[in-house]
Structure 1
């Protein structure tokens, strides 16, 4: 009897542990994706293209908003015991849908990573799949014991809390979308020294390739390596040679940042080594850029030209399209070319604005928060300090609330879990 009681108690603790861990993972995953809805939508676009479902791209953002908020609320349900029975159903549906998907990603590698933790934690496709396998085991246990969890409060209270949290979190996510992520996990966050993050140490590992030689005989093609190819056998005819990457070398955090002129002259070093302040307009796709914001930035560029402040405009659009848009919108901006993916990574805004000095990103603005000329006229430095202080205060406030929330949560979860489970 004693051994049976001890076993049941340990099983009870294990099930509660599974519930808390699974809930915490879903809350964290939903939170980091809610910080960057646009980045998550871009990842969904990659999925749709990879699986031949391009027609779904227009609904990627609404789909992301719904899935991210749902994922977050499922995590809250499991973590705090709000309608855990339904939370168990929700997490099972999620894992049943996404575990086979991640297996397909691991096998065929149509996208580089799943984006399940946004840019906060980047996993390979195989790491994601095995993470989901472990998580699925915990989810199946939670689902099997779903009727054992007592509701935290009466049904109306539980559902009201979940609905309020769902609405608040959706609003939080939309705030980050219409401005900039309050926490930026990408390599181009404010304060980043771009040249430092582009640096490759002399002793860093380099990419390793295997050379494959393809020969043909009697209509049949065969691959050979450099040690056994039939160079003396005239019955084989050489077709082609290819190099296969077998081991990737060191890749710096920023490895694809270049700025080129219309004549294909690279000016990256000139921009990054400039010791004066430089504003940089960023538009990944000029045709889709907010027109009103482009007009404001055009006015800002004219002011900068008059006052000696450098102003660069970057886009991935082709020059013919750029000139057409400049003519139709009467813009005087002088554009340079940068890779589209890089521009989307730099700032989640189209257009967006950076302030650089010696390659250091001093400040970033969404087009909804562009600085006024009168602010710049007072002092660029004071504006940067003000921007940095506001960013620090906002981030500190949010982190403080989250830490307090986490502390109270851990206490409540530990105190209540043992009495809310019918062991």
Structure 2
């Protein structure tokens, strides 16, 4: 196989695997929710409890394969990994394109949305690249010594683990969803007056002398009594404007709609978000009880957003001792709002100014006089820490890459 084609295939696969593994790895809960959709669509419900485990393995494996290909480490192993990935996912995306049980395959998490046919065409391209690399695997030789190659492989594995481990225990490093810090919920749920509307085409079916013919709204025989109306069907011709958030609806147990109370809220508003009650722990309960007590003392409104009903809803008070008002919402929406079990939003005049995994809620959040200034300060410090870490890892990888290129020239 031509070395240039092999090298091109290797680097193309490295780029797509690193990008795909990273954007999914920063949000492993989101990938787990997508796997949940797959399991339901293909009647594999018994695997649902393993969704997060599979998500973690998938994200780490993709990122690791991409890094191995980029740095020229364990290339035969990486060639096998890339080929097996594409061998599995290419026919799977063809099935998705033909049957469309899920609108988005989740290949690039929430960062990039592709149609199922678009995903399949993309996979055909990269399957060819993986096949080229796989066919040339025996001619690939490492530029490292055995010990050094092993050490670099371990280092790259550790780097591959970091995004997913962080994503499981905290909010995603990068939030691609509309419920991000800085989002105004009213703006994101409103359809502008001049926004384009959905355009439909209606087909009308009429029968005459035992023959059924198709008409549209411009030529149907409305004034000819010899034709008998049979049926009509409408098709979406052009999709209109869709707000960034189109499923934000919350209501009390007795059915009272509280959506506008959230969207048009004045001042500070705390929203503990609990997608699943089964993941609540004593530690999380204690955190929210303290938040509720301080909110009451400060006169700050607090509403819990839950998908629970019946006994599960009652248990929030009786078992978990959470006494703030609970509003029910769609489970999918709650899982979109936070990637934690549970999490907390802080709103100011309907705008999200704070968002945390329950582990990361600042202990003195409600003790300060100016939460805005406090959040800006803590966010700046957090960003600085992440920047130092990102720069350190980037420099390390850059030095490694330079070392690899130097060896390749020899």
Band the TM-score falls in, shorter-chain normalisation: 0.7 to 0.9
Maintained 8 Å contact 2:5/2:132: no
Unaligned runs of 5+ in 1: 1-7
| CA deviation vs aligned residue, 1:181-220 (integer Å, no higher than 9, x gap) | 1222222222223333334333332222233557899x99
Q: Secondary structure at the match of 1:329?
A: coil
The reply on whether 1:111 has 2:110 as its aligned counterpart is no
* Distance apart, 1:173 and its partner CA: 1.4
TM-score by length of 2: 0.88
Q: What CA distance in whole angstroms lies between the structure 1 residues aligned with 2:130 and 2:269?
A: 51
Maintained 8 Å contact 2:273/2:344: yes
The reply on whether 1:377 has 2:367 as its aligned counterpart is yes
Q: Secondary structure at the match of 1:336?
A: strand
- C-alpha change, 1:376 and 1:325, in structure 2 (3 Å) is closer
Q: Secondary structure at the match of 2:347?
A: strand
Q: Secondary structure at the match of 1:114?
A: coil
The equivalent residue for 2:322 is: 331
Q: What CA distance in whole angstroms lies between the structure 2 residues aligned with 1:235 and 1:274?
A: 57
The equivalent residue for 1:32 is: 23
1:137-176 equivalent positions in 2, closer than 5 A: 137-176=128-167
The equivalent residue for 1:193 is: 184
* Distance apart, 1:336 and its partner CA: 1.2
Which of 116, 121, 144 is the matching residue for 2:112? 121
- C-alpha change, 1:181 and 1:92, in structure 2 (3 Å) is same
- C-alpha change, 1:360 and 1:34, in structure 2 (3 Å) is same
| CA deviation vs aligned residue, 1:244-287 (integer Å, no higher than 9, x gap) | 33332222322222233334443333323333111111111234
Maintained 8 Å contact 1:81/1:151: yes
* Distance apart, 1:124 and its partner CA: 1.6
* Distance apart, 1:66 and its partner CA: 1.5
* Distance apart, 1:350 and its partner CA: 1.8
Unaligned runs of 5+ in 2: none
* Distance apart, 1:13 and its partner CA: 3.5
- C-alpha change, 1:158 and 1:301, in structure 2 (3 Å) is same
The equivalent residue for 1:256 is: 247
Maintained 8 Å contact 2:343/2:358: yes
The equivalent residue for 1:23 is: 14
The reply on whether 1:293 has 2:280 as its aligned counterpart is no
TM-score by length of 1: 0.85
Q: What CA distance in whole angstroms lies between the structure 2 residues aligned with 1:59 and 1:283?
A: 20
The equivalent residue for 1:179 is: 170
Q: Secondary structure at the match of 1:376?
A: coil
Q: What CA distance in whole angstroms lies between the structure 2 residues aligned with 1:153 and 1:330?
A: 59
Q: What CA distance in whole angstroms lies between the structure 2 residues aligned with 1:253 and 1:409?
A: 41
Q: Secondary structure at the match of 2:237?
A: strand
Which of 40, 46, 49 is the matching residue for 1:58? 49
* Distance apart, 1:349 and its partner CA: 1.0
| CA deviation vs aligned residue, 1:106-125 (integer Å, no higher than 9, x gap) | 12111111111111222221
The reply on whether 1:74 has 2:65 as its aligned counterpart is yes
Q: Secondary structure at the match of 2:344?
A: strand
Maintained 8 Å contact 2:274/2:334: yes
Maintained 8 Å contact 2:196/2:240: yes
Q: What CA distance in whole angstroms lies between the structure 2 residues aligned with 1:243 and 1:387?
A: 53
Q: What CA distance in whole angstroms lies between the structure 2 residues aligned with 1:110 and 1:182?
A: 30
| CA deviation vs aligned residue, 1:91-142 (integer Å, no higher than 9, x gap) | 1111000001111111211111111111122222122111111111222221
| CA deviation vs aligned residue, 1:166-193 (integer Å, no higher than 9, x gap) | 2443244112211111222222222223
Q: What CA distance in whole angstroms lies between the structure 1 residues aligned with 2:215 and 2:285?
A: 55
- C-alpha change, 1:325 and 1:312, in structure 2 (3 Å) is closer
* Distance apart, 1:360 and its partner CA: 1.6
